[in-house]
Structure 1
Amino acid sequence: MVAPYAVMPGETRGRLHPEPESPTRSAYQRDRDRIIHSGAFRKLQYKTQVFVVHEGDYYRTRLTHSIEVAQIARSISRSLGLDEDLAEAVALAHDLGHTPFGHAGEDALDEAMHAHGGFRHNDQTLRVLTTLERRYAAFDGLNLTWETLEGVVKHNGPLVPLSEGETLPTTIASFNRLWDLELDTQPGAEAQVAALADDIAYNNHDIDDGVRAGLFALEDLYDLPVIGPLFAGVRRDHPEVERRRLIHESIRRLIDLMVTDLLTESRRRLSALKPESAADVRAADRPVIAFSAEMTACDRALKDFLFTHMYRHYQVNRETSKARRVVGDLFALLTAEPNTLPTEWQGPAVAADAAGRARIVADYIAGMTDRYALLEHQRLFDLSPKM
């Protein structure tokens, strides 16, 4: 049963470039399919979040993460009577703007682009969806609906400057002047679901990857609120089970606990607000999809643990240091010598001013997979005779 506060595909605000509607798919199903068939989505298979690809094949990539987020988002949306296809489309698209090498690559590119508006993956995602994907004869980008673009841009909440002098990311600001995404309002409930599904998937698969990589032990989590008693309970219930199953069972129960908490708190908020439309959700003074206060504290404690024990582990630091150097080297050389860019990128870069050239180079690097960035670095900097 569809809830009255769901975003209704029949009431979509349409696409920037008008197209006939599909006779067999809703507007949001069509958006989801375009995202899945995009080149940027395929590249997520070889973009990592914490580990680079050559460290091993087991660890999650941006692609597997996005699929996990989409699955959780669909399940939550179904329970709340929301549009599952819109939630899935936002979930599948939310990481398309990420650079190679995870946050290390993003930080390096942001530093390199400091004089030209910086670099943020959410802003780059909008560039991918509206400009950089070039598959259709009539327009650049994927020409997604207003609701999907709004959800992707605002899935973490309204975009308003938080301090004097702060500005919106360049692509978001420019696109918003062309087509108002109502940046100062809450996103639709489906986008809010996608954002918290991202949180649930991210934290839990980082536990899985971190334990399997030997960066910390499952028992190290026993002191955390909520998580500790849960994981200790799994050990108590299954004292003889092999470690691989123990890890999976612990994480499975934690995902279930977080989803159940989210559904309970969200239903409480929706009951209090009594929204009669998606517009009421957007006009609310706070999100309608949320964790309870207890689970929010648990989520923060887990993030702090992972930051200390995983993201700042010396083995990860070595890889991220290497990644930053690769991205920084590539950016410096390609902006200084744009004639070294591939042919299709070279003409626009040579003709552009400094800011335009820097953005073109940033687009080129951001679109690389981990292994392609390493290969490009080798091609450009390895002076051995074999080259």
Structure 2
Amino acid sequence: MEITTIKKFWEKWEAQTLSPLATLSTKSRGRERPENECELRNCFQRDRDRIIHSKSFRRLKHKSQVFLSPEGDHYRTRLTHTLEVSQISRTIARGLRLNEDLTEAISLGHDLGHTPFGHAGEEALQEIRPGGFKHNEQSLRVVEFIERDGKGLNLTWEVRDGILRHSKTRDLNMEKVSKENLPHTLEGQVVRWSDMIAYVNHDIDDAIRAGVITQCDLPQDCLEILGETHRERINRMVKDVILNSVDNSSVTMSAPVRNATQKLRNFLFETVYFGEYQKVEREKAKRLIKELYQFFLENLKVLEKEYRINLYYQDVNLIVCDFISGMTDRYAMAIYRKYFIPFSWPQEGMGKEIN
């Protein structure tokens, strides 16, 4: 059997098996720069592979999710969050007979532009950079321009659209969200919900592990609808999305589950994300990011040395933002120590003799 025959088999399987509302790989809007097709993989599989092999994807393992530079082995990082989103997305996509390859590619790429120190880093860049900062827009910039030394990954239109439009407002009611802010594919909408399902549940898990909240602190009326345990809540949310989205032109939750999820999410914002426990460390992280940003703006030769990029004919604020948003937590702290913290003098007698 020829390799191309295998690909054609799966393309035929897509057309015969997936929902009429699914995005077929053979119907993709394509890439900005035309390429020869792979003999084995469809276009969305190639996008997934390019993302996994990218430098920005590898750096996610050292970027904070909620707790800044956590010392424990079991706290989520931006990478493990991404993998959980991918798993949930594939489950929902399969339940709805949508394209799993597309949902997986969007899931794996959705947070590539996230800053060090989680949302604290995002807030710092939002406040200091002219024009602000949004991690979903930066994720798109990563795959379109930054990766491969400025060439980008040249992903399909559907994956780029899903990455750009994955972020949610504080209100989860999809009817209140304008269509222009929603992903154009149902697969992208699946990722949008899966991102929220993942972080609401794993952030509760991490916050309880850290001692920031206890199980008893969680809103009881939400638990009665969604479940008492991590497993029960994810199962309830995922099933609800599938049952309420089958053969629909949008992906959504039922009102009771959506409202309970909304309340649980608001609880996390008030007690964990912006709670007193995190406040001091968040401010430290924001100050570090802002000082690095201002330092590189005022010392372009240092920036050019560290980032190894040609600064001519480019928006310097944008380049500084690219550099800092791409940092891991530990690299940001190392760069800060390098340029802001004095080195210790060697022990007496260890230095060069002065005559």
Q: TM-score range by the shorter chain?
A: 0.7 to 0.9
Are 1:257 and 2:236 an aligned pair?
yes
DSSP-derived class of the 1:131 partner: helix
Partner deviation per Cα, 1:6-32 (whole Å, 9 max, x = no partner)? 000011111111111111111101100
User: Is the contact between residue 227 and residue 298 of structure 1 (CA under 8 Å) also seen in structure 2?
Assistant: no
Q: What is the deviation of 1:112?
A: 1.1
Query: Deviation of residue 348 (structure 1)?
Result: 2.9
Q: How many residues align?
A: 321
1:367 aligns with 2:304: no
Q: 2:252 aligns with which of 280, 284, 290?
A: 290
Q: Secondary structure at the match of 2:245?
A: helix
For structure 2, the 5+ residue unaligned runs are 1-16, 170-178, 347-355
- Using the TM superposition, give the Cα deviation of residue 209 of structure 1 relative to its aligned residue in structure 2, in angstroms: 0.1
What does residue range 232-311 of structure 1 map to in structure 2 within 5 Å? 250-267=229-246, 270=247, 281=249, 288-311=250-273
Cα distance in 2, alignment partners of residues 153 and 372 from structure 1: 26
Q: CA deviation at 1:296?
A: 1.2
1:48 corresponds to: 64
Q: 1:100 to 1:229 in 2, by over 3 A?
A: closer
- Mapped to 1, the partners of 2:341 and 2:289 lie a distance apart of 15
Aligned ranges for residues 124-143 of structure 1 at < 5 Å?
124-134=138-148, 140-143=151-154
Equivalent position of 1:21 in the other structure? 37
8 Å contact kept, 1:157–1:186: no
* CA RMSD across the alignment: 2.1
Contact 1:95 1:125 (C-alpha < 8 Å) held by counterparts = yes
Q: Distance in 2 between matches of 1:54 and 1:184?
A: 33
1:151 aligned to 157, 162, 165, which one? 162
TM-score (norm 2): 0.85
Structure 2 partner of 1:100: 116
Deviations 1:258-295 (A, max 9, x none): 1111111112xx35xxxxxxxxx4xxxxxx10111111
Is the aligned partner of 1:382 residue 2:344?
A: no
Distance 1:15 1:229 in 2: 40
Q: Are residues 1:198 and 2:174 paired?
A: no
Name 1:212's counterpart in structure 2.
209
Deviations 1:205-256 (A, max 9, x none): 001000000001112115232457831xxxxxxxxxxxxxxxxxx1001100
The farther-off stretch of 45-54 and 327-336 is 45-54
How many Å separate the matches in 2 of 1:229 and 1:144?
37
Larger relative contact order (Cα-Cα within 8 Å, sequence gap ≥ 6): 1
Task: Percent identity, please.
Answer: 43
- Counterpart among 274, 286, 302 of residue 340 in structure 1: 302
**Could you tell which deviates more after superposition, 369-378 or 335-344?**
335-344
Distance 2:141 2:313 in 1: 18
Displacement, 1:57?
Answer: 2.8
**2:198 partner amino acid:** A
TM-score under structure 1 normalisation? Answer: 0.78
The separation in 2 between residues aligned to 1:140 and 1:106, in whole angstroms, is 25
Say which SS state the counterpart of residue 224 (structure 1) adopts: helix
Letter in 1 for 2:216: E
Do the aligned partners of 2:165 and 2:181 also contact (CA within 8 Å) in 1? no
- Residue 308 of structure 1 deviates from its aligned partner by 1.9
Cα distance, 1:315 vs. partner? 2.7
C-alpha distance in structure 2 between counterparts of 1:222 and 1:18, whole Å: 52
Task: Give the match for residue 320 of structure 1.
Answer: 282
Tell me the CA shift for residue 346 of structure 1.
Answer: 5.8
Q: CA deviation at 1:129?
A: 0.4
Partner of 2:3: none
Residues 136 and 165 of structure 2 are in contact (CA less than 8 Å); yes or no, is this contact kept in structure 1? no
- SS of residue matched to 1:225: helix
The secondary structure found in structure 2 opposite 1:133 is helix
Is 1:120 paired with 2:82? no
